[in-house]
Structure 1
């Protein structure tokens, strides 16, 4: 009986939400960094949104879909999308715009095969800038979406 229990325990899946070594290696290789909630990839250097824009251009869509295919290839089929804006516009508008940006990225992930039920979309507005909103370049960097793989 003891041997059977040992064999059965060896066949169990890891706890839900746990990333294995292969998945972590892929996240690191794709540029994700470890954060409190799991692993995050800030897309501001790869996927930028024009001022007041909520849509991805074809090149940005291709980048997001390539990331999705990489994640799916190692069994990562869930993500949280955190949308951000610069400080132009009022807070309510920026909140809505940031959510729409995150949804644009989510739509590309879904098109690449990610299950819609496994995606969480959040709009964070202008609350978490990565650069100064006093310069054009800084504002451009703040118009972004982060892909977060929760652990």
Structure 2
């Protein structure tokens, strides 16, 4: 049996390690420039849709965009179409997870308003799921009247508080 000299064994091991390192390097994420471009495009689309960057990610209170009628959780007509378009835009830039927070005005009992706000969030989540965001990646919460956007008892203030907020977490 012929044995290799020690330097040749060392060279072959070194060559194998280099090959393994190159193979692992090929499995890495896209180059930083591509990832930066994708993040910039995502931020642009989120801004175009009305989202604002916060500490939690990107937030859209949907004031004036997705308000609900008194005692309603219905997603129909223009509201639904707007939400479908938004869902497609979010999916198009790689948004795959959302938090949907339902809210209610101060009329009615706290228990009822919590259930109503949860139903509103579920209705919005359903439309977003139909637009392509995986349903299991949508976190749904109902806050009732506990987090008003506008303080006051006027009909205008109450209407602004019958809403759903969308949060795109930091990805």
TM over 0.5: yes
- 1: CA distance, partners of 2:30 / 2:121: 31
Residues 1:116 and 2:135 are matched in the alignment: yes
- Aligned twin of 2:34: none
Maintained 8 Å contact 1:86/1:133:
no
Q: Larger relative contact order (C-alpha < 8 A, sep ≥ 6)?
A: 1
SS in 1 for 2:139: strand
Kindly state the Cα deviation for residue 143 of structure 1 after the two structures are TM-superposed: 0.2
- Aligned twin of 1:128: 147
Q: How many residues align?
A: 147
> TM (normalized to structure 1)?
0.88
SS in 1 for 2:151: coil
Residues 1:4 and 2:22 are matched in the alignment: yes
When the two chains are superposed, the root-mean-square deviation of aligned CA atoms in Å is: 2.2
> TM (normalized to structure 2)?
0.78
- 2: CA distance, partners of 1:117 / 1:134: 36
2:162 to 114, 129, 143: 143
Residues 1:75 and 2:74 are matched in the alignment: no
Q: Which runs of 5+ in 1 are unaligned?
A: none
1:41 to 57, 60, 75: 60
- Aligned twin of 2:103: 84
- Higher percent of residues as helix: 2
Query: Cα deviation per residue 1:97-138 (whole Å; 9 max; x = unaligned)?
Result: 000000010011111121111111100111111112310000
